[in-house]
Amino acid sequence: MHLSRIPSGVRYYVGEAARRRRAVEDCAISVFAGWSYEEISTPTIDYYSLFEQGMGAEAQTSFRFVDADGGLLALRPDVTSSVARACATLLAEKPRPVRLCYVAPVFHQHPRSKAEWRRETTQLGCELIGASGIAADIEPLVILAETLNRLGLERSYCITINNVEIFNGIAEHLRLNDDSRERLRSLIDLRDTSGLTELLDALGTDARERELFVQVTRLAGKRAIINEARQVITNARSRAALESLAQTWSAIETVGLGESFEIDLGDVSGLDYYTGLLFKVYVRGSGVRVGRGGRYDGLTSKFGRAEAATGFVLDLDELTSVVAGTEFQVERAGAPAVEISLPDAGSTFREARRRRSENQQVRVMF
């Protein structure tokens, strides 16, 4: 095999690209720190069972290998699972809420889609553990918005919000078995309106309700979409979620972020994982989602301590490529380097050290 070969789905960053990526990372981490999120660094390898518990079927995309004692290990496919475990164990005594952030590469053997070709991606993430209610739902959204604004993407991004309990209530109300539930979910997710109409017809729903339901899940919108949804979604479980979403929306408007947010009742991904609010981040210039998050109250109980939790991840690599086309300022390394070239190594480096003690950039000439 040629040593020049490189596996698919990984890349180098050099020079300008590396500086830009570092600047995006620094910008995000400083925003997270500004909201009192403390950095956590999690193990790069861990037991596969941790990720299986934490992510469900998605963990199967991880790189797996066998430990010396025969245990199955995986190269970290996400960070949240590990953070949730730490909160239930290592950080169990820490006063709540716990606010943690990270910047960490995650690895997948198979990329999620062809456009998301990377198998190594770096996640910028925040997790807020041990807090529930509207305020705890809003905090990650506000941090996300500030991060994107500071990256100079102010009018280029859109964050969609939804609440998974709206769909769960509907599936329960229609008494769907697992197959029809997944079929309904998939048709809503694909915005396949004709397929959705057919399925709802077969499930014996009222014609007018059917039309309204297809309409509210088809397109994202602002507050009006909640009012339309109220007319057709009447079961108690979905209604409670819809009212909670309405409150979240009001808060977003009050904060002054209504312009950048949309309500997308058709976002029905990750239903097994999220337990309430969920959101997605889209940025002009990228064909894929650059971030996602939501409430995952079910996760920490798997590690022995049930508590409310919410969080998000942004894709550093995708953000870096989006930012490349904007005016986001990547700081150069200050004044031009002082070139040092003396006859012998000793005096060269004595001079270089003196310059460095004054924080000058030096370049030793050979």
Partner 1 sequence: MLTIAIAKGRLQEQAVQLLARAGVKIAASDLASRRLTVDDESGRYRLIFVKPSDVPVYVEHGIADCGVVGRDVLLEANADLLLPLDLRIAPCKLVVATTNDTSLMDGGMLRVATKYPSLAAAHFGARGVPVEIIQLVGSVELAPVLGLADCIVDLMETGRTLKENGLRVVEEIIDSTARLVVNRASYLLKSAAVAELIGSLSAVLDGGP
Q: Which residues sit at the interface with partner 1, rule CB under 8 A? A: 112-115, 158, 160, 190-195, 218-220, 262, 264, 282-284, 286-289
What is the per-residue burial (b if ≥16 Cβ within 10 Å, else e) of 135-149? ebbbbbbebbbbbbe
Name the minimum Å distance from CB 198 to partner 1: 10
Q: Which two tokens stand for residue 140?
A: 């990650």
What is the DSSP secondary structure assignment for residue 83, as one 8-state letter?
Answer: H
The least distance separating partner 1 from the CB of residue 289, rounded to whole angstroms, comes to 7
State how far the Cα of 283 lies from the Cα of 289, in Å rounded to an integer.
7
Closest to 232 measured CA to CA, from 200, 255, 275, 256: 200
Q: Which is nearer to partner 1, 48 or 261 (CB)?
A: 261
Q: What is the closest distance, in whole angstroms, from the C-beta atom of residue 88 to partner 1 in the complex? A: 33
Q: How far apart are CA 160 and CA 245, in angstroms?
A: 12
Pick between residue 218 and residue 355 the one whose CB is nearest to partner 1.
Answer: 218
Nearer to partner 1, 112 or 305 (CB): 112
Least distance in angstroms from the C-beta of 58 to partner 1: 14
Closest C-alpha among 179, 345, 149 to residue 260: 149
Dihedral (C-alpha) 260, 265, 269, 274: value to the nearest 10 degrees?
Answer: 80
Nearer to partner 1, 73 or 220 (CB): 220
> Helix crossing, 193-202 with 178-189: angle to 10°?
150
Residues for the chain: how many in total? 366
Helices (H) and strands (E) in the chain, counts: 12, 13
Nearer to partner 1, 117 or 349 (CB): 117
Least distance from C-beta 129 to partner 1, angstroms?
A: 29
- Judged by beta carbon, residue 127 or residue 262, the one nearer partner 1 is 262
Closest CB 286 distance from partner 1, rounded Å: 6
- In the complex, least distance from residue 192 CB atom to partner 1, rounded to whole angstroms: 5
User: Which residue is associated with the tokens 């180098």?
Assistant: 12
- By beta-carbon proximity to partner 1, the closer residue of 194 and 359 is 194
- The distance of closest approach from Cβ of residue 205 to partner 1 in the complex, given in angstroms and rounded to an integer, is 20
Cα separation, 350 vs 344, in Å, equals: 10
Min dist. Cβ of residue 189 to partner 1 (A):
8
Q: CB-based contacts of 297: which residues, under 8 Å, 6+ apart?
A: 132, 275, 276, 306, 307, 308, 309
Phi first, then psi: give them for residue 156, nearest 5 degrees: -110, 0
Supply the DSSP string of 272-336, one letter for each residue.
TT--SEEEEEEETT-SS--EEEEE-TTTGGGGT----EEEEEEEHHHHHHHHTTS-PPPPP-SSP
Q: Is the dihedral of CA 38, 43, 46, 51 positive or negative?
A: positive
Q: Which is nearer to partner 1, 247 or 321 (CB)?
A: 321
* Residue among 155 and 353 whose Cβ is closer to partner 1: 155
Q: What is the nearest approach in angstroms of partner 1 to the Cβ of residue 320? A: 16
For residues 214 and 338, give the distance between their C-alpha atoms in angstroms, rounded to a whole number: 66
Nearer to partner 1, 287 or 346 (CB): 287
